Structure 1
Amino acid sequence: MKLAERTVAASLPAPPAQAARATPGLGLRALLLAIAIIVPLYHATFWGMAEVWSRSQTFAHGFLIVPISLYLCWRQRARLAALPPRPSLAGLLLLLLLGVAWLLADLAYVQVAEQYAATAMLPAAVLAILGWPAMRVLAFPLAYLLLAVPFGEVFLPPLIDFTASFTVGALHLSGVPVFRDGNYFSLPTGNWSVVEACSGLRYVIASLALGALFAHLHFRSLGRRLAVMACALLVPILANGVRAWLIVMLGHHSNMRLAVGVDHLVYGWLFFGVVMLLLFLLASRWRERMPVLTLAASAPAAPPARTAPRAAIKAAAACVLIAGAWPALAWRSEEAAPLAGRPPAVLALSTPPGWRLVDHRTPDWSATLAGAPLRLDASYAQGAPQVSVQLAWYARQARNAELLTHQVTPYGARWLPLAQETRHLQLQGRSVQVHETVLAHGSERVLVWRSYQQGGVLTARPAVVKMLLAKGKLLGERQDGADIMVSSAYDELAPPPRARLQAYLQAALPAIEQALRELSHAP
């Protein structure tokens, strides 16, 4: 880099002394000042990211992403100093779009989208104030910042399923008898399950961050960089399957004395470290010599010394004004959102025709909900098995007290999900969506159908719930919502009681919707 910096400095045409010194320096100062104002405006969003880094090993790499990005920007200081600011309207338009996205995500409490929008505002500010030449120089460090956003939990189910399938298949090839039930499998020496910590998500995310940095530092062609990143993404998934198989084999042949406790995770990280080392050693054989870049031929002509600083200052002021508008609108929408009427002490539901209310609830299952909503828990029978109903109603939703928020154990500590899908039912002459989940505990099973009512709309799609919530806040409408759950227990050898749940909803849905309407219009 020292040689490159000297070459850049030597190859630039000698501009007027005042323009060369004042223009780039003033543009950088304007950018730093704008970022110093924008980041505190979104401090709650960035602080939320840091909280996730601190409590989750999967996303702890975020603490390293930020200083690495800053160091990579610092390495380009000589090239940046040689570029006069060329403010871009595209950067301001991008900042405007990101602000709208952040506002909608904040109102709907979608933290991932909120964090991506706030983080992407920093590259947008660079483009708006310094322009495309500087953006090309800082493209990778600014894009690398996006890896600091805690994202990836949506891939947990497929990764868990792949790891379980790979492990069971490898055990069959190894001659070990195994019986699989969802993510659980039994060997003659003991039982195993693939849970979140075994999914390999933390290895995949860490490998992608390392692979992107390695590809940037050692390769210059886009094809090779993408190839290295693809390997960094796929190899840990396959390696995690091998790791899970080796751990099960180690536990099986040691009669469950090894690889069943803390050493289970220790072996995993050691294995991951060896795999990544071999991957990067192999990739380094094809690394490319980084070129010595000069700016003499490609650098655009600098604007006049007087207009460039003024344009950069105006662009920085515009960035601050645009970025500052959205937190103010979010605060105003939260304060202006109307409260639903005072709810009654008890959420009542009339017994549907042909069903009878039973005194006790089965099974011993209860959904984990955020906040303190008004709840109803009841069981109804029409023969066997009985149907359990859980309703939760929020008069006003707030962050971490809403219909949809991340829960570590969404189905309680006892039950674990085996399968999930969305079903379309014909009820009362209309199509109704429900999200179906099969819960397991030993040989016990529970079939759960879940739907939501937000803004008077019944849906099982979380994205629709979030959009309706944001719409209600922006337009000053009610934001009360309900979580509707019906479930029924059955044995693992019996078919799921879908017909029983559909019969109950066919009879009870009008009463449920009527009860929710009365709550939303309570005086």
Structure 2
Amino acid sequence: MTPDSVAAAARPVSLTPRVLLLAMLLAVLLLYHATFWTMLEIWSRSQTFAHGFLIVPISIWLAWRQRARLAVLPPQASLTGLLLLAGCGLAWLLANAANVQVVEQYAATAMLPACVWAILGWPAVRLLAFPLAYLFLAVPFGEVFIEPLIDFTASFTVAALQLTGIPVFRDGSNFYLPSGSWSVVEACSGLRYLIASLALGALFAHLNCHSRGRRLAVMAAALVVPIIANGVRAYLIVMLGHLSNMRLAVGIDHLVYGWLFFGLVALVLFWCATRWRERPLAAATATPTVASRPAASIRVLLASLAIAALWPGLAWLHRDEAAAAMPAAPLALAAPPGWQKLEAPPAWRAPVAGHPLQWLASYRQETGKVNLQLSWFARQAPDAELLTHQAQPYGETWSLLQHQKRTIKVGGRGLTVREAMLGHGGERMLVWRFYRQGGVTTANPVLVKLLLARGKLLGTRQDGADLIVSTAYDELAPPPRPQLQAFLQAALPMIEQRLQELPHER
């Protein structure tokens, strides 16, 4: 009997489980359509993540290439797959309650391979491992790397300029040359180059390499080369502007040169990678399958449907219909002991999402002036919450120079704050930021989200506050940390008491 005749004989046996799998995958797409729709919206509006439109059809094509081998695999319904599907659903529910969109998207995407595992079994997952894993590249993730990439690009450019003999002064992500000033912004971070290179590198390694070592080498090159190339690109653009007396590479041609350079780097990278190509492996000979039991596959499908439908149902029961509701009571604070409230409000404030109750005030003591920005949310929604991505988290004027976490002593206890040093010309500003979510004071964003999810799912407190204290100082002076610590020592107990007194819904 030939392999083709074996596959043909096996097709009627394996057709039913595969059809059931397709039905289950469609059900997941429908049940979690809102989550998948947010992914599509991001692909359509962001050039960084527009590759998502290609990832999905490529994954489908890669899976289709394995159809003959998949047809002869005996379906093996798996309890492990059902447990994985339940775990993904729980993760989706927690992320939905905590408004963590990227975790929602990863959890919903992970349900697709979990369905394959539950209905067809581990052999099918192993056969389709790459197409299923490649789907995760469609999730729009990576903004967390923007700041490190900006810092690397700025450091690389400044170092290269200094090696060239050009005098340069760096101030955070801004640097100044005799011919003009430059700034490394989000679009110059190289994130879109990195993501595009990773997607292309993974596909190239899968199609052209078979040994694990060569695949890892191609992937490592696809990660490292675009980061270094983006630094070279930024240096060349600055040099072009400097040598042309700021006539070239300062407008739209800046972006054109960048994409041309990236295209050249990608071409060279994958041309070099072709030297590592390996001959295709011989196709494995198909073997007869054992008869499957349609009733077992249907039972697994029904169990998978029940598990997948459970979590959107729970989310619907705990939906927030009045997420933006705010109490009528004003948010007012008395001056802390030993501090005098000034009439003029702070000149600087951090942008926040939505329209929370706010208290903006400046206080003075003998040691100097401290600004307080307190934002309180009775409830939180994706467009009105404590933690959300801001294109300009410190406003249009100030740029971030340095940030870290710092633990200070306040009232005999340790308080962790997120410290940021901002710059604007010769001015500096020291900013401490932390949160109070559901009655817990913390600077840990993950804990804030977990507390929010707990409040929504268990019906406990959901209110949250964003606390920011700041003070300006001269760039030649040391950061006035004792000044902020003295203010929190006097003000934090009364702030926490006032937040506890504010009306909150459950």
With normalisation by structure 2, the TM-score equals 0.96
Quick one: distance in 2 between partners of 1:403 and 1:450? Answer: 11
Spell out the pairing of 1:56-71 with structure 2 (5 A cutoff). Answer: 56-71=46-61
Asked if structure 2 preserves the Cα contact closer than 8 Å seen for 1:340 and 1:395, the reply is yes
Quick one: distance in 1 between partners of 2:7 and 2:35? Answer: 42
Q: Secondary structure at the match of 1:60?
A: coil
Classify 1:407/1:338 alpha carbon distance in 2 versus 1 (closer, same or farther; 3 Å).
closer
Q: Secondary structure at the match of 1:400?
A: coil
Partner of 1:459: 442
**Shift, 1:13, TM fit:** 7.2
Quick one: distance in 2 between partners of 1:487 and 1:430? Answer: 21
Match of 2:300 among 315, 330, 339: 315
Q: Secondary structure at the match of 2:330?
A: coil
Partner of 1:10: 2
Residue identity matched to 2:202: A
Q: Secondary structure at the match of 2:361?
A: strand
1:435 aligns with 2:418: yes
Asked if structure 1 preserves the Cα contact closer than 8 Å seen for 2:96 and 2:315, the reply is yes
Quick one: distance in 2 between partners of 1:292 and 1:145? Answer: 26
Match of 2:393 among 373, 389, 410: 410
Q: Secondary structure at the match of 2:2?
A: helix
Q: What are the Cα deviations for residues 200-240 of structure 1, in whole angstroms up to 9, with x where unaligned?
A: 11100110000000111111111111110110000000111
Classify 1:361/1:33 alpha carbon distance in 2 versus 1 (closer, same or farther; 3 Å).
same
Match of 1:388 among 332, 351, 371: 371
Asked if structure 2 preserves the Cα contact closer than 8 Å seen for 1:427 and 1:506, the reply is yes
**Shift, 1:494, TM fit:** 2.2
Spell out the pairing of 1:123-142 with structure 2 (5 A cutoff). Answer: 123-142=113-132
**Shift, 1:338, TM fit:** 9.6
Structure 1 unpaired stretches of 5+:
1-8
Partner of 2:499: 516
Q: What are the Cα deviations for residues 489-510 of structure 1, in whole angstroms up to 9, with x where unaligned?
A: 1222222221111111111111
Partner of 2:291: 304
**Shift, 1:381, TM fit:** 0.7
Residue identity matched to 1:113: V
Classify 1:183/1:14 alpha carbon distance in 2 versus 1 (closer, same or farther; 3 Å).
closer
Identity %: 63
1:177 aligns with 2:196: no
Q: Secondary structure at the match of 2:318?
A: helix
Asked if structure 1 preserves the Cα contact closer than 8 Å seen for 2:324 and 2:380, the reply is no
Partner of 2:244: 254
**Shift, 1:29, TM fit:** 0.6
1:507 aligns with 2:494: no
Q: What are the Cα deviations for residues 403-422 of structure 1, in whole angstroms up to 9, with x where unaligned?
A: 11111122222222111111
Quick one: distance in 2 between partners of 1:220 and 1:16? Answer: 28
Quick one: distance in 1 between partners of 2:441 and 2:4? Answer: 64
Pairs aligned (count): 506
Spell out the pairing of 1:329-340 with structure 2 (5 A cutoff). Answer: 329-334=314-319
Q: What are the Cα deviations for residues 244-276 of structure 1, in whole angstroms up to 9, with x where unaligned?
A: 111111111001111111111111111010001
Partner of 2:332: 348
Asked if structure 1 preserves the Cα contact closer than 8 Å seen for 2:378 and 2:504, the reply is no
**Shift, 1:479, TM fit:** 0.3
Q: What are the Cα deviations for residues 156-212 of structure 1, in whole angstroms up to 9, with x where unaligned?
A: 121111111111111111111111122111111111111111111110011000000
Residue identity matched to 1:284: T
Partner of 1:214: 204
Quick one: distance in 1 between partners of 2:6 and 2:189? Answer: 57
**Shift, 1:311, TM fit:** 2.0
**Shift, 1:303, TM fit:** 3.4
Q: Secondary structure at the match of 1:58?
A: coil
Residue identity matched to 2:289: A
Asked if structure 2 preserves the Cα contact closer than 8 Å seen for 1:100 and 1:326, the reply is yes
Quick one: distance in 2 between partners of 1:397 and 1:162? Answer: 35
Partner of 2:136: 146
Classify 1:292/1:49 alpha carbon distance in 2 versus 1 (closer, same or farther; 3 Å).
same
Residue identity matched to 1:343: P
**Shift, 1:102, TM fit:** 0.9
Q: What are the Cα deviations for residues 266-324 of structure 1, in whole angstroms up to 9, with x where unaligned?
A: 1111101000100111110120011121233xx5x63334x1x2222222221111111
Q: What are the Cα deviations for residues 383-411 of structure 1, in whole angstroms up to 9, with x where unaligned?
A: 36311111111111112211111111222
CA RMSD of aligned residues (A): 2.0
Asked if structure 1 preserves the Cα contact closer than 8 Å seen for 2:324 and 2:381, the reply is no
With normalisation by structure 1, the TM-score equals 0.93
Spell out the pairing of 1:15-26 with structure 2 (5 A cutoff). Answer: 17=9, 20-26=10-16
**Shift, 1:26, TM fit:** 0.6
Q: What are the Cα deviations for residues 84-108 of structure 1, in whole angstroms up to 9, with x where unaligned?
A: 3222221111111111111111111
1:99 aligns with 2:89: yes
Classify 1:60/1:16 alpha carbon distance in 2 versus 1 (closer, same or farther; 3 Å).
closer
Classify 1:339/1:106 alpha carbon distance in 2 versus 1 (closer, same or farther; 3 Å).
closer
